[in-house]
Structure 1
Amino acid sequence: MKDPKRYLITAALPYANGLKHIGHLAGAYLPADIYVRYLKAQQRDVVFVCGSDEHGTAIPIQATKEGTTAQAIIDKYHPIIEENFRELGIAFDIYHRTSAPIHHQTAQEFFTALNEKGDLETKETEQYYDEEAKTFLADRYIKGTCPNCGYENAYGDQCERCGKSLSPDELINPVSTLSGKPPVKKLTRHWYLPLNRHEDFLREWILKDHAEDWRANVLGQCKSWIDGGLQPRAVTRDLDWGIKVPLPDAEGKVLYVWFDAPIGYISATKQWALDHGKDWTPYWQDKDTKLVHFIGKDNIVFHCIIFPVMLKLHGNILPDNVPSNEFMNLEGDKMSTSRNWKLEMQDYINDFIHKENGGSQMADVLRYYLTQIAPETKDSEFMWKGFQDANNSELVSIFGNFVNRTFVLMHKLCKGKVTPYHTAVADELDAQTIVEIKQTKEKVEQLLEAYRFREALFEVINLARIGNQYMQKKEPWILAKKLEAQPEVQQLIDNCLHICLQLTANLAILINPFLPFTAKKMLHMMKVVEKMLNWENAGSMKLLSVGYPLRPPELLFRKIEDDEINAQIEKLKSASATKEAPAVNTKQMTPEQSATGNQKSAIVFDDFAKIDLRVGTIVSAEKVEKADKLLKLQVDLGFETRTIVSGIALHFKPEEIVGKQVTVVTNLAPRKMRGIESNGMILMAEDNGKLHFINPEDKINSGSTVS
């Protein structure tokens, strides 16, 4: 679209049924915040909305666990989640809640408008009913034996033992979790959104209009849903917690949470407008508004298929983009609340922000690492050692080091004032560094506009790296020793520190969307106001006036010690050990399943389908320094060449394996080994202590899939 008049940015509404972990933060909220901060630095009209999703069965289920009411649960967790976001620098314009009266009214009006136009349909179906509790049962209120693995306490929507998605009808011996009695089938009437009527629109709008600008994972999932044939989806359910269906013949029915939750973006915008004396309607009805939804991949179908149909029928604008991230794992395993394998935002805040003076800088360290490993195209991995390395090797040693050296030398050699720039003694290195500053602004801008936040952050850090290299080549501390004999070298010192100071000011602007607390601290050191962070100032070499006195340096980041990291790893393992994994009921398993010998436990096809196996060709191989077992490989995958570190150096000489075809796990989360980021894993077979490549019999194209 042409340059929009305004932007409405949304981040997926988190369930207010418990604390949220850093996977949630990395998936939707941090990238949205980075984008919004960039837009606001551009002086664009932008509203950033979010809020707690407070309906659905997850809330009363949590209330049952905690022995309280659903209302008490949302009143407990809503303010905690809101405060967690604030302390980690997520700056919503409004963080609303779906229990608010304005949301109930907005959702009911939305339902009524669609129903009165004939865009909804009704039908009767049989659903499970608890005769003792006198209520229809949502999927999570039904337990039974999993037909896949035999686990006796599987829920009606998913087995927590094997992970398979289920329906209540698939459970063996289902019982109600409310009464413990077997439920019966009973007729009930509900309202449905007939998605099947809108397949042609969705195919045109998603797969044609947005084929070039939406992420591949979003397009792929949407195509799969559409090609599989869309079905009518219930927008109401029998439940006593939620927004009442506004019809006289709908007693005991509420709006399905998937229907009411995204309408929460609209009601939040309404509340923001009321709070600020604005008109909310242009943000949802004017085609000159750019609507962008930031979500995790488990929300793609709701935000790309279902909600757009609702918006189109209701006369609202459609999303321009839906940047969806994949999942983030933790220390080699999927984050899981039930298994206590998680790092909650609150835990990080307690351990790294509240425990030290000026701890907001540690919020930026988390923001930095999560952006660096953001799961933009594939699942990624949070590793505590990686977190430490990102801080110590990059934030401390590159970014912080450059800023600190610049300020220290300015105070030591130039009386703490911004030095002049003498064009008469400027050289090619000076000119090239100035060009790099201007080009970095352009690169970062292009990448942020394309929602490529990892690459954008890399460019900012790379500018600090360029600054360090420039200073190292100029060596102003060496020049200072010649001043008494050669006073003219003062001009060379001036030029070096002038460029370094202007580069520092540029770094503050460019890093602000990513590390806002750091940018603010840099402003304090430079004695300038926040207006300097306006994006139009980036690339300028006149941000700091000649002769202007600056404050003494303050360390931007501190080193993270090994004992802190080891304590976090031990804490994670100890917490997980207190949660027993569900036991497998071998009575329901086949002899083949139970007699596995030394094999690993059985998985379902869905687990295997998550692995992306491709044929690759090794194009180069070299030994990794100080690592007897490791080879650094460059592997051609057809669509790109990857660096993969493999522990095969004791079995193969580097020159022997160049040109060999191998099978590669391509969607394994990146992992640093000896300071090298490895992006994949080579499959090997071991026979009597000897390793063999798993490769095709005949040479085939690199990138071919293995299935």
Structure 2
Amino acid sequence: MKEIKRYTVTSALPYTNGPVHIGHLAGAYLPADIYVRYLRAKGKDVVFVCGSDEHGVPITIKAKAEGVTPQQVVDKYHKIIGDSFRDFGISFDIYHRTSSKTQHETASEIFKTIYDKGKFIEETSEQYFDEKAQQFLADRYITGTCPKCGYDKAYGDQCENCGSTLNATDLINPKSTLSGEQPIMKSTKHWYLPLDQYQTQLEKYILEDHKDWKTNVFGQCKSWLHQGLQPRAVTRDLEWGIPVPIPGTDGKVLYVWFDAPIGYISATKELFGLKDAAWSDKHDEYYLKADRKPQTSAASWEEHWKSKDTQLVHFIGKDNIVFHCIIFPAMLMAEGSYIWADEVPANEFLNLESNKISTSRNWAVWLNDYLVDFKDKQDVLRYVLCATAPETKDNDFTWKDFQSRNNSELVAIFGNFINRVVVLSHKYFEGKVMPMGAMTDFDKEVIAELQSYPAKIGASIENYRFREALQEFMSLARLGNKYLADTEPWKLIKTDEERVKTILNIGLQIAANLAVLAEPFIPFSAKKLASMLNLDNVSWDETGSIDLLKAGHQLNEGVLLFDKIEDDVIELQIKKLMDTKEANEVANKVTVPAKENITFDEFSKMDIRVGTIISAEKVAKTKKLLKLTVDTGIDQRTVVSGIAEYFDPESIIGQQVSILVNLAPREIKGIESQGMILMAEDADGKLRFTAPTAKVKNGSEIR
């Protein structure tokens, strides 16, 4: 095992064509932040970098749809995303961006180094070209019918209906999204990274040296390697991006998958380039935490990217595994001077109310929106997302679970314990820590258990088991709660004040330990608790002690760490989602194509009248059928109608309807039906009567 002198920790660069949601936070940013905060509390040298991924086709599509420039799109969402991370306490040392000058220079330099070494393959191939727009078409600029499921809005790289990965040439009836025209094939030259030439090196790196990677990471990499790696294009025909740094390549840029991971390196370079800049400044190109400098003793950025005693850790979602474990390392192997990732703790996906989170369908909880409805409750979401993190399989976020964990865990266990011990200390001893007297066997058992928690929580974090670490943390809070409940100092104060002094001292020592151990998970609440306890900076290695608060130490006034979330608040959030779902169904409802034309004479044979339902009852042994008696103005007749799933019989008596009166009678379930009620179907599939807007005489013709 190598000696580790410093850590470089990255989180996947979010794409700047929209805000970030809870799935993003749970996947790559919250676990990384917990890990880094823990390392800092341990006094480790660490740099934590991230930034906006600002190139690629979706950016240009978004810009075209909004009638703005790509730069305006990325400027807008870079700020929204960066502010969201800051508001949720994601403690990047720098939040950079790939449209920056440093990124352009770094990516160009790496490409040029590989190019000069002759590592790329140059190939001329046929690609789709839009003659009307005079532009080669990237995959997302082409839509057509999926050859696997028949979905007619599949993209040139993926079908979002069935999830299949596609090539643009696989599509049936391809169309350009720029002009709507059918594209032609045209020759173009591009450069490829020959991944197959690094197959053996990658197999040793992954299959031999990193067998201990998470099962999902190792399994996906093994599958790719087993299939055999193929050359992959590193350039594209686009205007938006980093220009290919070779003469005579106008209109070509670095492919975003090649460009984006280099953003980690350029962010680190930018961070070290700041040197003695005012760390409280909020710059346009990055966000820095105002109250500290990066916790690293490295003299230059190279030590974090080119030194063998640096631990490089990538936090990502499962959709980025191949890019970070195979493609990015292959790029660095080709370049020759960089280290490769030691750990890639990728999470699975987080679902929302049992449905896949979808940005296009607005089925998400957006971080910037959350804080509008739940002001100052960042830690509640951090806690719940950590407790339900999709570490080994896809998991589900529900608003009911969110409410339950807040009320029954944060409020009833952690918050309740802190409130009790602080309030009682103020009530009985003017907020001072009393000296510890004689200890009972129970006291000693509780202290011994307290002393075991820092190591258990730390071990879980170091092994990227953040849910487990949070459970251990809450077990310590439960220990404190149970200790007070079992010792009942509020009763003992009447007969044994000395014993109460010892009980509250031990309780406060547990609270002080919780303040330090909480910081990686719920930093805002940890800071509030430390302020209540008047606790100075304490390192992780000092926890487990029963002497964090000295006898005579003065506490500050207590405040509630958490408050209960009521049912109506949660019901509002669920309603917002249901409204979104209904709107999506309406928007995506496919209108049935028109039937074949009929002549006017054929239409005129239909006799449609206004009638009134005068009686209605369910047809026995059926779910869908109602037996109706309708006054047609001509007669009263029986009609059997399949509307029982949408209407109660009693509710429709007196309802005027449109009825086809000259439809030949038909026997249904032993009942002769003498006509048909005409209905309309909503986007949500519900039936509606096509009655006149004003009451009219029965028998009136509808023409």
Contact kept? 1:368, 1:515, Cα under 8 Å = yes
Identify the residue that residue 299 of structure 1 maps to in structure 2. 320
| CA deviation vs aligned residue, 1:300-357 (integer Å, no higher than 9, x gap) | 000000111112222101111000000000001001112221111111111112xxxx
- Report the Cα offset of residue 150 of structure 1: 2.5
Residue 352 (structure 1) aligned with residue 374 (structure 2): yes
SS at match of 1:223: helix
Contact kept? 1:151, 1:585, Cα under 8 Å = no
Identify the residue that residue 343 of structure 2 maps to in structure 1. 321
Counterpart AA for 1:298: D
Structure showing greater Rg: 2
- Report the Cα offset of residue 204 of structure 1: 1.2
Residue 331 (structure 1) aligned with residue 353 (structure 2): yes
Contact kept? 1:137, 1:176, Cα under 8 Å = yes
In the TM superposition, what are the counterparts of 1:12-23 in structure 2 within 5 Å? Answer: 12-23=12-23
| CA deviation vs aligned residue, 1:510-554 (integer Å, no higher than 9, x gap) | 11000000110011101123x22x112211111111011111211
Deviation larger for 262-271 or 272-281: 272-281
Identify the residue that residue 537 of structure 1 maps to in structure 2. 542
In the TM superposition, what are the counterparts of 1:476-487 in structure 2 within 5 Å? Answer: 476-482=489-495
SS at match of 2:47: strand
Counterpart AA for 1:225: W
Counterpart AA for 1:436: E
Q: Would the alpha carbon gap of residues 512 and 79 (structure 1) be closer, same or farther in structure 2, given more than 3 Å must change?
A: same
Contact kept? 1:146, 1:171, Cα under 8 Å = yes
- Report the Cα offset of residue 3 of structure 1: 4.1
In the TM superposition, what are the counterparts of 1:645-664 in structure 2 within 5 Å? Answer: none
Identify the residue that residue 371 of structure 1 maps to in structure 2. 386
Q: Distance in 1 between the 2:592 and 2:570 partners?
A: 39
Q: Distance in 2 between the 1:243 and 1:586 partners?
A: 45
Match of 2:535 among 528, 540, 559: 528
RMSD: 1.3
Counterpart AA for 2:572: A
Q: Distance in 2 between the 1:493 and 1:153 partners?
A: 71
TM-score (norm 1): 0.79
Q: Distance in 2 between the 1:249 and 1:333 partners?
A: 48
- Report the Cα offset of residue 481 of structure 1: 2.1
SS at match of 1:316: coil
Identify the residue that residue 10 of structure 1 maps to in structure 2. 10
Identify the residue that residue 247 of structure 2 maps to in structure 1. 248
Contact kept? 1:341, 1:575, Cα under 8 Å = yes
In the TM superposition, what are the counterparts of 1:162-561 in structure 2 within 5 Å? Answer: 162-212=162-212, 214-276=213-275, 278-314=299-335, 315-353=337-375, 359=376, 362-422=377-437, 425-482=438-495, 489-529=496-536, 531-532=537-538, 534-561=539-566
Contact kept? 1:364, 1:516, Cα under 8 Å = yes
SS at match of 2:217: helix
Q: Distance in 2 between the 1:234 and 1:321 partners?
A: 26
SS at match of 1:324: coil
Contact kept? 2:23, 2:349, Cα under 8 Å = yes
Counterpart AA for 2:552: G
Contact kept? 2:49, 2:264, Cα under 8 Å = yes
- State, as a whole percentage, how many aligned pairs show the same letter: 57
Deviation larger for 261-270 or 139-148: 139-148
Contact kept? 2:357, 2:364, Cα under 8 Å = yes
SS at match of 1:48: strand
| CA deviation vs aligned residue, 1:582-631 (integer Å, no higher than 9, x gap) | 456999xxxxxxxxxxxxxxxxxxxxxxxxxxxxxxxxxxxxxxxxxxxx
Q: Would the alpha carbon gap of residues 167 and 582 (structure 1) be closer, same or farther in structure 2, given more than 3 Å must change?
A: farther
Contact kept? 2:6, 2:46, Cα under 8 Å = yes
Q: Distance in 2 between the 1:446 and 1:143 partners?
A: 49
- Report the Cα offset of residue 17 of structure 1: 0.7
- Report the Cα offset of residue 275 of structure 1: 1.0
| CA deviation vs aligned residue, 1:425-465 (integer Å, no higher than 9, x gap) | 31111111111111001101111111110000100110010
Q: Distance in 2 between the 1:231 and 1:312 partners?
A: 16
Q: Which runs of 5+ in 2 are unaligned?
A: 277-298, 594-703
Deviation larger for 114-123 or 300-309: 114-123
Deviation larger for 143-152 or 390-399: 143-152
Counterpart AA for 1:455: E
Q: Distance in 2 between the 1:137 and 1:364 partners?
A: 44
Deviation larger for 38-47 or 255-264: 38-47
In the TM superposition, what are the counterparts of 1:555-594 in structure 2 within 5 Å? Answer: 555-580=560-585, 582=588
Q: Distance in 1 between the 2:204 and 2:498 partners?
A: 63
- Report the Cα offset of residue 148 of structure 1: 2.7
- Report the Cα offset of residue 110 of structure 1: 0.3
Counterpart AA for 1:577: E
Contact kept? 1:296, 1:326, Cα under 8 Å = yes
Counterpart AA for 1:227: H
Counterpart AA for 2:526: A
Q: Distance in 2 between the 1:298 and 1:153 partners?
A: 22
Counterpart AA for 2:371: I
Q: Which runs of 5+ in 1 are unaligned?
A: 354-358, 483-488, 588-707
Counterpart AA for 1:559: K
Deviation larger for 159-168 or 189-198: 159-168
Q: Distance in 1 between the 2:584 and 2:507 partners?
A: 53
Deviation larger for 152-161 or 447-456: 152-161
Contact kept? 2:145, 2:171, Cα under 8 Å = yes
SS at match of 1:276: coil
Q: Would the alpha carbon gap of residues 471 and 458 (structure 1) be closer, same or farther in structure 2, given more than 3 Å must change?
A: same
SS at match of 2:550: coil
Q: Would the alpha carbon gap of residues 543 and 570 (structure 1) be closer, same or farther in structure 2, given more than 3 Å must change?
A: same
- Report the Cα offset of residue 13 of structure 1: 0.3
- Report the Cα offset of residue 151 of structure 1: 2.6
SS at match of 1:481: coil
Contact kept? 2:512, 2:535, Cα under 8 Å = no
TM-score (norm 2): 0.80
Q: How many residues align?
A: 569
| CA deviation vs aligned residue, 1:182-231 (integer Å, no higher than 9, x gap) | 1001111111111101111111111111112x100000000000001100
- Report the Cα offset of residue 390 of structure 1: 0.6
Q: Would the alpha carbon gap of residues 398 and 157 (structure 1) be closer, same or farther in structure 2, given more than 3 Å must change?
A: same
SS at match of 1:292: strand
Q: Distance in 2 between the 1:93 and 1:343 partners?
A: 26
Deviation larger for 371-380 or 138-147: 138-147
Contact kept? 2:143, 2:176, Cα under 8 Å = yes
Contact kept? 2:126, 2:187, Cα under 8 Å = yes
Q: Distance in 1 between the 2:161 and 2:464 partners?
A: 36
Q: Distance in 1 between the 2:369 and 2:493 partners?
A: 48
Identify the residue that residue 591 of structure 1 maps to in structure 2. none
Identify the residue that residue 70 of structure 2 maps to in structure 1. 70
Contact kept? 1:23, 1:329, Cα under 8 Å = yes
